[in-house]
Amino acid sequence: MTTPPELSAEDALRLNVLLAGPVYAVRIDEGARTLHALTPRGEARIALNPTGRPERYFQRVRELLAGHALGSPGGYPVYLRRWTRMGQASEKNLEALLKLGEPEAVLAVAYAPGLTDELARRVWWAAQQMATTEIARVMLMHPAVRAGSMGPVLTAHLLDYLPFESDPLAALQTVRVVLAAGHLDADARSALWAKAKRRPHYLVGFLETLPDALPPEPARALPAGLPDTPAARLLARCYSGAGQSYLKAAELALDKAPIHEAVYLLLDLIGGYFAAGREAEGLPVPAAEAAALSALARLSQQDAAPILTRTTAVGPLMRRHLEPLIGPIIRHLRTLRGEP
């Protein structure tokens, strides 16, 4: 095996001077042969001058970084594998991972349960040459990041990229995360809702996060003499303007579900929304509406599993397989909207 080349004297001096002070994160642009460092004073840059094969030279640079950050020049890969298997690391160790100039280490910190808003800021800086949309989505799932200064930054990035997202699952997850983060104003939510009419898998995020705050449809008049029971309150929820909007959106999302994951999520969400409908018997409503409340209350992803676990189909073909399940659900939703 060829030993990786030593660093040039000029590079070694500059790197050691840099590492003598506080460094928050490092990224290496191999194409531009430049090391970037995030420091308390802002961004520092060091032009690298490879001797020999550049890839081996950059490996040597990373060994130097690992030696400084982790205390073991050759230990980075083993350390990271052990950290990943454990699924945990102290905040101090997460900080160290961002100083390695390793994209895998940046991803590890983004996914870490102990991610903080400040660490998210450093990850976002370090990830500029990576698949930043995945990283933004993952980090925005953390409560500390949602509540911090990075929440609006990541939300804005995800919204900007959403129109170009061709993967339905990635788009669905983006909308879920963005809505749950709570940084959209009324105009932004309205714009996203309008887009969801053309891309119904976006509706999953609205049904999950804003079930009672959807742009309203015309409300239905409640029957007289309703008792004060959970099932009656559910009926009132369904008859409200937001409830009628929920029913319409759930129907569209189911009818146009593009992938397995969307179906599983929708069935769980609908079952949760209608949970109180198990006790719908005795309500002063038409029998078909009481039956709809009861049937929808029992939905879960388990209803689709026997079908979806036997097929890899997506799109229209998947929906044809699901017709015996989805058809009755849609009829129940329409019944509660007062449609024949």
- The type of residue at 199 is R
* Cβ 97 vs Cβ 76: under 8 Å: no
Range with the poorest average pLDDT among 67-76, 179-188, 242-251, 254-263: 67-76
60's tokens: 């040597």
Higher-scoring residue by pLDDT: 4, 273: 273
Mean pLDDT over residues 204-209, rounded? 98
Q: What H or E segment, with its residue span, contains residue 46?
A: strand 42-47
Residue 172 has pLDDT above 80, yes or no: yes
* Cβ 60 vs Cβ 5: under 8 Å: yes
Summarised one tens digit per residue, pLDDT across range 283-340 is 999 999 999 999 999 999 999 999 999 999 999 999 999 999 999 999 999 999 999 7
> What is the per-residue pLDDT for 104?
87
**Sheet containing 25-29, strands listed edge to edge, beginning at the edge strand earlier in sequence:** 25-29, 34-39, 42-47
Pick left, alpha or beta for residue 102 (phi over 0 → left; psi -120 to 50 → alpha; otherwise beta).
beta
What confidence category does residue 6 fall into, taking pLDDT thresholds of 50, 70 and 90? confident
**Parallel, antiparallel, or unpaired for β 42-47 and 34-39?**
antiparallel
267's tokens: 């069935």
Residue 87 has pLDDT above 50, yes or no: no
* Sequence-distant (≥ 6) Cβ neighbours of residue 201 within 8 angstroms: 168, 171, 172, 253, 256, 257, 258, 259, 262
- The type of residue at 34 is T
Whole-angstrom Cα distance, residue 37 to residue 252?
Answer: 48
* Cβ 259 vs Cβ 197: under 8 Å: no
What confidence category does residue 130 fall into, taking pLDDT thresholds of 50, 70 and 90? confident
Measured between its terminal Cα atoms, the distance across the chain in Å is: 77
CB atoms < 10 A from the CB of 316, how many? 9
Max CA pair span of the chain = 88
Whole-angstrom Cα distance, residue 225 to residue 243?
Answer: 20
> What is the per-residue pLDDT for 24?
97
Domain ranges, ordered by start, for the chain: 9-130, 211-336
Q: Where are the alpha helices (DSSP H) in the chain?
A: 9-19, 54-70, 76-86, 91-97, 103-111, 117-126, 132-140, 143-146, 150-161, 168-181, 186-198, 203-209, 230-239, 241-255, 260-273, 287-297, 305-308, 315-336
Buried b (16+ CB within 10 A) or exposed e, 283-315: bebeeebbbbbbbbbebebebbeebbeeeebbe
Summarised one tens digit per residue, pLDDT across range 30-44 is 999 999 999 999 999
* Cβ 272 vs Cβ 295: under 8 Å: no
